Structure 1
Amino acid sequence: MSSTLNVAKEIEQVVPQILQWRRYLHENPELSYEEYATADFVYNQLISFGNLVVTRPTKTSVLAVLKGTLRGDCLAFRADMDALPIQEEADVPFASKVAGVMHACGHDGHTAMLLGAAKILSTLQQSLKGEIRFIFQHAEELFPGGAKEMVAAGVVDGVDRIIGLHLFSTLPTGKIGICAGPFTANSDTFDLEIIGKGGHSSQPHDSINPILIGSQITNVLHHIIPQKVNAEERAVLAVTEFHAGSAKNIIPDRLVIGGSVRTFSQQVRERIAQQIAMQVQHTVAAHGADYNFTYNDGYSSVINDEQLTAVVEGVIQQHFPSDTILHIGPFMGGEDFSAFLTKVPGVFIAIGAAFDDETLNYPHHHPRFAVNEDSLAIGLKLFVHSALTLNS
């Protein structure tokens, strides 16, 4: 009991510090692959804690390793650090100082929570078994993503389990979202260039109008999922770019279309890609035009390990109020945490970060996005108790 009380006191004492860290990071955001100052800040904080071996696996990422005094498994925690190319409009006293860049997805909070966990756990080295790795990842927001680079750099070699947390402005603060199995979607994109034959708008018979072809393709593509995917499967296809033309009286010779596809099943992912390619080929050929088409596999689905999910759920049941857990379903967002899961079983957990005043809640990637800072203590507590459950 005394040990539990001591940990609770440590967490309480560190919370003001993680709020300061989070606000500093929020004021000084950096874009994907440009997190040089952020990585330096994280590195220097970790070095100051002691008992950690701190390295730089890539130019803008950080890894800290804590080795316990007893033999045991290796547990990894991950936090992402990058911001987004968005001009902040949130009314907070620590708003971004960088024009056109803001933390609009909670990564500043993720970094601060994991720093707090590293600070606390580094003082408990004597009671820990095995090894704990604290992964501060760059470039989650920009494909191909920093997780893939960190895997290639060996940061999860020898790791037995990995846990990631994400603040969710759509969940009430005080709640923790759990989802065993598929949690985030495969997030793919496609690019299509239609090459027609330009001409004068008064003589369409002498032209091959790519806008007409593109309109037909757009309509056909939006029928793929209801016609070719089982209704029990979740999938989304959206045409999101459509660019052509420069004057009212000119039929252009080219059109560019882009879009997004979200799926959970690898089989459905492949089927939709094949259907898009086939429909594009048939429609373009029918008009005697030409085209260039590329389907781009993005981040794969995050699939939470059911056994580890159950362990983390047990941690929550033991150390949090009885009504904390929300069993949530998969959502269509993409996450490169999946790259770690190609090597290591893991679980990705949603930490509720919404305000009681609903007028303050905005979706992720919105210029007015903000998180209820009370959520940071919850994420910190979950990191620490997960480590103590699995490695002590």
Structure 2
Amino acid sequence: MSLEEVKEKVVEIRREIHKHPELSYKEFKTSKLIADVLTSLGIEVETGVGLPTAVVGRLKGKKVGKTVALRADMDALPVKEETSLPFKSEVEGVMHACGHDTHVAMLLGAAMILSREDIQGEVRFLFQPAEEDGGMGGAKPMIEAGAIDGVDYVFGIHISGSYPAGVFATRKGPFMALPDSFKIEIHGRGGHGSAPQETVDPIFVAVQIVNQLYGVYRRVDPVQPFVISVTSIHSGTADNVIPDNAVMEGTIRTLDETTRRRALDYLRKVVDHVCEAHGATCEVHMMEDPYPVTINDPGTTEEVMKILSKISTVIETPPIMGAEDFSRFLERSKGTYFFLGTRNEKKGCVYPNHSSKFCVDEDVLMLGVRAHAELAKHFTRT
């Protein structure tokens, strides 16, 4: 298969997956497509690795070498697609708005190339479900099922609308944030909207909590990257009824454990004090075991940047306050996570990831294919 044929196949696969997106833990058609392609290439395939839709491919060379894992996530988002692409989503309310369709296609393209190479060691292809879940995610159960046992290096690529098309972006050390999701339940005492003095208004309490929470920026180190956002408040049913309860949700993003602890402590104190002051009772629920900080191994990343620079432009980017469960793989093996830009004004690819209008400049896909393949060949030899 020539490089041009690989490119055509990668685009074809990407478009097929884009038309049939599947949400976290439900990637059954995508999983079957992946397994079928890997099998056709003569690559050893194991399905159901930790989760029913997880797929691991193993390509073993005849010579002794290191084991390198390459990862692609495969789940879509609950977003209604608003593009005019001829291969737009055929599933109502579900869209590959984060580029995971391209991640699968690029990694399969690399498998096509590497399966023809006389490689050393082992290349392990990790096709991971449920990255968008934000809770357990797909990496953790795959790790627990042995998916990266014996792996020396692990690498992952994420397509991004934040960087120009064809540009690789990464950094050494802490790269992406730890996401602490919170839910606050406020229990007041409802009544008639005309007589608030007879009630404990949970909406009023919620507003006070929001205002006080954003004061956390006065309590954390200003040079440390930090984000807190209250993203939803739900309460009430009618214009003349003060409700009994309100529920708030949001996220805290940090790269530093000291900053994280201060923010979490401040959140709980604010909620307790505001609720006590206004006669309400409150409960704070934090997501258990959130994704860790994504930390790129400095030495490995320096080598990665040199290799990528032979393929396209490479930039060292500031930390990103998004989160990734690829971080769990990096806790077990040395490695690097990096972005591949897809922003191209001439092609209308100007929308950010998770937008209903997100689109990808497909000309960059072979750069991702080459990156996977070159990293695998280099690090299996080291």
Indicate the TM-score class for this superposition, using the shorter chain for normalisation: over 0.9
**For residue 113 of structure 1, what is the aligned residue in structure 2?**
106
Matched AA of 1:219: N
Which residue of 2 is the match for residue 6 of structure 1? none
* Structure 2 residue identity aligned to 1:332: M
Correspondent of 1:383 among 362, 372, 376: 372
Query: How far does residue 201 in structure 1 lie from its aligned partner after superposition?
Result: 2.6
Aligned to 2:341: 352
Question: How much does 1:183 deviate?
Answer: 1.2
> Superposition pairs for residues 23-62 of structure 1, below 5 Å?
23-50=15-42, 52-56=43-47, 57=49, 58-62=51-55
Alpha-carbon distance, 1:177 to partner: 0.8
The aligned amino acid for 1:339 is R
Q: Deviations for 1:142-163, whole angstroms, at most 9, x for unmatched residues?
A: 1221111111111011111100
What SS does structure 2 have at the residue aligned with 1:65?
Answer: strand
Structure 1 runs not aligned, ≥5 long: 1-8
| Contact 1:18 1:113 (8 Å CA) reproduced | yes
TM-score (norm 1): 0.93
Instruction: Give the C-alpha shift of residue 203 in structure 1.
Output: 2.6
Q: SS of the residue aligned with 1:283?
A: helix
Which residue does the alignment assign to 2:130? Answer: 139
Which letter maps to 1:270?
R
Equivalent positions of 1:61-210 (< 5 A) are 61-124=54-117, 127-142=118-133, 143-210=135-202
Change over 3 Å in CA distance of 1:154–1:277 after alignment to 2: same
Give 3-state SS (helix, strand or coil) of 1:116's partner. Answer: helix
Deviations 1:322-369 (A, max 9, x none): xx1111111111111111112112210111111142743111111110
> What is the match of residue 5 of structure 1?
none
Partners of 1:49 and 1:202 lie apart in 2 by: 72
Match of 2:361 in 1: 372
Shift of 1:215: 1.2
Q: Distance in 1 between matches of 2:129 and 2:91?
A: 18
What displacement does 1:312 show?
0.8
What SS does the aligned partner of 1:299 have?
Answer: coil
2:318 equivalent in structure 1: 329
Partner of 1:272: 263
Structure 1 CA distance for aligned equivalents of residues 299 and 250 of structure 2: 36
Q: What amino acid sits opposite 1:377 in the alignment?
A: M
State how far apart, in whole Å, the 2-side matches of 1:53 and 1:65 are.
5
Superposition RMSD on alpha carbons, in Å?
1.4
Shift of 1:10: 4.5
**1:334 alignment partner, SS class:** coil
245, 250, 255: which one aligns with 1:254: 245
Deviates more, 1:339-348 or 1:9-18: 9-18
Deviation at 1:257, TM superposition (A): 1.1
Amino acid at match of 2:191: G
What is the aligned residue count?
377
1:167 and 1:350 in contact (8 A); partners too: yes
Counterpart contact for 1:190–1:293, Cα < 8 Å: yes
Give the structure-2-normalised TM-score: 0.95
Alignment partner, residue 289 of structure 1: 280
**Mean CA deviation greater in 297-306 or 108-117:** 297-306
Q: Deviations over 1:35-77 (max 9, x none)?
A: 0111001000100001x21001131011000111111211100
For the 8 Å contact 1:38–1:81, the answer to whether it is kept is: yes
> Are 1:244 and 2:247 matched, yes or no?
no
Instruction: Tell me the distance in 1 between the aligned counterparts of 2:202 and 2:259.
Output: 29
Segments of 5+ residues of structure 2 without an aligned counterpart are: none
Distance 2:379 2:176 in 1: 25
Task: Report the equivalent of 1:3.
Answer: none
- 1:72 is matched by which residue type in structure 2? G
Residues in 2 aligned to 1:296 and 1:303: alpha-carbon distance in whole angstroms: 21
1:213 aligns with 2:205: yes
SS in 1 for 2:354: coil
Quote the offset at 1:89 in angstroms: 1.1
Residue pair 1:273, 1:295 contacting (<8 A) in 2 also: no
Query: Aligned to 1:120, what secondary structure does the other structure show?
Result: helix
Mapping 1:308-327, distance limit 5 Å: 308-317=300-309, 319-321=310-312, 324-327=313-316
- Name the structure 2 match of 1:4: none
- 1 CA distance for matches of 2:54 and 2:340? 23
